[in-house]
Amino acid sequence: VQLQASGGGLVQAGGSLRLSCTMSGGALDTYAIQWFRQAPGKEREGVSCISSDGRTYFGDSMKGRFTISRDNVKNTVYLQMNALKPEDTAVYYCARDIFGCVGWTGTFLRSRLVKGTYGQGTQVTVSS
Protein backbone atom coordinates (compact mmCIF):
# COMPACT_ATOMS: atom_id res chain seq x y z
CA VAL A 1 0.00 0.00 0.00
CA GLN A 2 1.35 3.38 -1.01
CA LEU A 3 0.05 6.89 -0.51
CA GLN A 4 0.97 9.83 -2.69
CA ALA A 5 0.29 13.45 -1.86
CA SER A 6 -0.33 15.95 -4.64
CA GLY A 7 -1.88 19.32 -5.29
CA GLY A 8 0.68 21.62 -3.76
CA GLY A 9 1.79 24.86 -5.31
CA LEU A 10 2.46 28.53 -4.83
CA VAL A 11 -0.35 30.65 -3.44
CA GLN A 12 -0.65 34.10 -1.93
CA ALA A 13 -1.48 34.57 1.72
CA GLY A 14 -5.21 34.28 2.24
CA GLY A 15 -5.57 31.90 -0.67
CA SER A 16 -6.63 28.26 -0.81
CA LEU A 17 -5.28 24.94 -1.99
CA ARG A 18 -6.69 21.43 -1.99
CA LEU A 19 -4.26 18.61 -1.48
CA SER A 20 -5.03 15.06 -2.49
CA CYS A 21 -3.73 11.84 -0.97
CA THR A 22 -4.28 8.88 -3.25
CA MET A 23 -3.83 5.30 -2.17
CA SER A 24 -2.58 2.60 -4.48
CA GLY A 25 -2.26 -1.11 -3.84
CA GLY A 26 -5.12 -1.27 -1.39
CA ALA A 27 -8.58 -0.08 -0.46
CA LEU A 28 -8.73 3.16 1.47
CA ASP A 29 -11.98 2.53 3.30
CA THR A 30 -10.52 0.67 6.28
CA TYR A 31 -7.63 3.03 6.93
CA ALA A 32 -7.16 6.19 8.96
CA ILE A 33 -5.05 8.77 7.19
CA GLN A 34 -3.09 11.62 8.65
CA TRP A 35 -1.40 14.61 7.09
CA PHE A 36 1.79 16.03 8.49
CA ARG A 37 4.15 18.71 7.25
CA GLN A 38 7.74 19.74 7.49
CA ALA A 39 9.03 23.24 6.95
CA PRO A 40 12.72 23.96 6.37
CA GLY A 41 14.64 23.92 9.63
CA LYS A 42 11.59 22.93 11.66
CA GLU A 43 10.28 19.78 13.26
CA ARG A 44 7.59 17.76 11.56
CA GLU A 45 4.10 18.84 12.62
CA GLY A 46 0.81 17.02 12.57
CA VAL A 47 -1.80 18.72 10.40
CA SER A 48 -4.91 16.56 10.41
CA CYS A 49 -6.22 13.05 10.76
CA ILE A 50 -9.34 11.34 9.44
CA SER A 51 -10.49 7.99 10.75
CA SER A 52 -11.98 5.23 8.64
CA ASP A 53 -15.46 6.25 9.80
CA GLY A 54 -14.89 9.93 9.01
CA ARG A 55 -14.01 11.45 12.36
CA THR A 56 -11.67 14.40 11.85
CA TYR A 57 -8.93 15.99 13.91
CA PHE A 58 -6.82 19.10 13.36
CA GLY A 59 -3.79 20.77 14.78
CA ASP A 60 -4.52 23.92 16.75
CA SER A 61 -3.21 26.32 14.09
CA MET A 62 -5.29 24.61 11.39
CA LYS A 63 -8.65 24.62 13.14
CA GLY A 64 -11.20 26.75 11.33
CA ARG A 65 -9.02 27.00 8.22
CA PHE A 66 -8.46 23.41 7.08
CA THR A 67 -10.94 20.64 6.41
CA ILE A 68 -10.30 17.00 5.63
CA SER A 69 -12.51 14.58 3.78
CA ARG A 70 -12.34 11.22 2.13
CA ASP A 71 -13.74 9.62 -1.02
CA ASN A 72 -13.32 5.89 -0.62
CA VAL A 73 -14.56 5.25 -4.15
CA LYS A 74 -11.70 7.33 -5.51
CA ASN A 75 -9.29 5.98 -2.89
CA THR A 76 -8.44 9.58 -2.03
CA VAL A 77 -8.31 11.81 1.03
CA TYR A 78 -8.52 15.55 0.53
CA LEU A 79 -7.08 18.36 2.62
CA GLN A 80 -8.76 21.67 1.88
CA MET A 81 -6.63 24.53 3.10
CA ASN A 82 -8.14 28.00 3.29
CA ALA A 83 -6.89 31.32 4.61
CA LEU A 84 -3.35 30.16 4.06
CA LYS A 85 -0.52 31.91 5.88
CA PRO A 86 3.19 32.11 5.08
CA GLU A 87 3.83 29.89 8.09
CA ASP A 88 1.89 27.11 6.35
CA THR A 89 4.75 26.84 3.87
CA ALA A 90 6.06 23.28 4.08
CA VAL A 91 6.20 19.94 2.38
CA TYR A 92 2.98 18.10 3.15
CA TYR A 93 2.83 14.33 3.48
CA CYS A 94 0.04 11.84 3.99
CA ALA A 95 0.39 8.48 5.67
CA ARG A 96 -1.60 5.73 7.29
CA ASP A 97 -2.22 6.31 10.97
CA ILE A 98 -1.68 3.01 12.73
CA PHE A 99 -3.94 3.93 15.67
CA GLY A 100 -6.96 5.00 13.64
CA CYS A 101 -6.51 8.63 14.76
CA VAL A 102 -7.22 7.61 18.36
CA GLY A 103 -5.07 9.79 20.56
CA TRP A 104 -4.00 12.03 17.67
CA THR A 105 -3.17 15.45 19.07
CA GLY A 106 -1.24 17.22 16.34
CA THR A 107 2.15 16.42 17.80
CA PHE A 108 4.02 14.47 15.16
CA LEU A 109 4.88 10.97 16.30
CA ARG A 110 6.77 8.73 13.92
CA SER A 111 5.44 5.73 15.81
CA ARG A 112 1.93 6.50 14.54
CA LEU A 113 2.92 6.13 10.90
CA VAL A 114 2.85 2.90 8.95
CA LYS A 115 6.36 2.77 7.54
CA GLY A 116 6.82 2.74 3.82
CA THR A 117 3.34 3.97 3.03
CA TYR A 118 4.04 7.60 2.30
CA GLY A 119 5.84 9.17 -0.60
CA GLN A 120 7.80 12.34 -1.22
CA GLY A 121 5.13 14.81 -0.25
CA THR A 122 3.92 17.91 -2.02
CA GLN A 123 5.35 21.40 -1.61
CA VAL A 124 3.07 24.19 -0.46
CA THR A 125 4.48 27.70 -0.62
CA VAL A 126 2.51 30.65 0.69
CA SER A 127 3.81 34.07 -0.25
CA SER A 128 3.15 37.15 1.86
User: What's the whole-number average pLDDT of the chain?
Assistant: 95
Report pLDDT digits (tens) over 8-29.
Answer: 999 999 999 999 999 998 889 9
In DSSP terms, 58 is beta-bridged to 48
Residue 36, strand partner residues: 46, 93
* pLDDT tens, position by position, 69-126: 999 999 999 999 999 999 999 999 999 999 999 999 999 999 999 877 887 899 999 9
* pLDDT at 117 (0 to 100): 80
- Work out the pLDDT band at 43, boundaries 50, 70, 90: very high
